[in-house]
Amino acid sequence: MVDAEDKIKEEEEKAQQQVDEAGDKAKADAEAKGLTPEEVQEQVEKARKEEKDKLYPQLKELKDNMKAIQEVLAAERADKERIQKDAEKKAEDERKSKLSDQEKTLEAINKLEEQLNNERKERERLQRDLQKREEQNKLDTYRNRLIEQNKDKIIPELVTGKTVEELDNSLEVAKARFTELAERFKNERSETTRKNMPGPTNPDLEALDELELSKDLTQLDQDKYLSDPAYREKIQNQLADEYGRLAGRR
Distances (CA, A) of 153 to 34, 86, 98, 192, 217: 96, 76, 81, 26, 9
**Per-residue pLDDT at 238:** 65
**Per-residue pLDDT at 53:** 87
Q: Is 115 among the domain residues? A: no
> Which of the four pLDDT bands, split at 50, 70 and 90, describes residue 1?
very low
When pLDDT is averaged across residues 78-90 and rounded to a whole number, the result is 91
When pLDDT is averaged across residues 81-102 and rounded to a whole number, the result is 83
In terms of Cα–Cα distance, which of 213, 210, 157 is closest to 183?
213
**Whether residue 163 has pLDDT greater than 70:** yes
When pLDDT is averaged across residues 203-214 and rounded to a whole number, the result is 43
Q: Is 210 among the domain residues? A: yes
Q: Is 54 among the domain residues? A: yes
Helical H runs in the chain?
A: 2-32, 37-98, 101-149, 164-196, 213-218, 222-227, 229-249
Q: Is 65 among the domain residues? A: yes
Q: From CA 46, how far away is CA 40, in angstroms rounded?
A: 10
**Whether residue 151 has pLDDT greater than 60:** yes
When pLDDT is averaged across residues 73-82 and rounded to a whole number, the result is 90
Could you give phi then psi for residue 199, rounded to 5 degrees? 100, -150
**Whether residue 202 has pLDDT greater than 50:** no
Q: Which residue has the higher pLDDT, 217 or 119?
A: 119
> Residue 142, class by beta-carbon neighbours within 10 Å (0-12 exposed, 13-18 middle, 19+ buried)?
middle
The residue range of the domain holding 241 is 156-249
Q: Are 193 and 168 in contact (CB under 8 A)?
A: no
What residues contact residue 189 under an 8 Å CB cut-off, 6+ apart? 236, 239, 240, 243
**Whether residue 133 has pLDDT greater than 90:** yes
Which of 49, 73, 97 terminates a domain? The answer is: 97
Q: Is 64 among the domain residues? A: yes
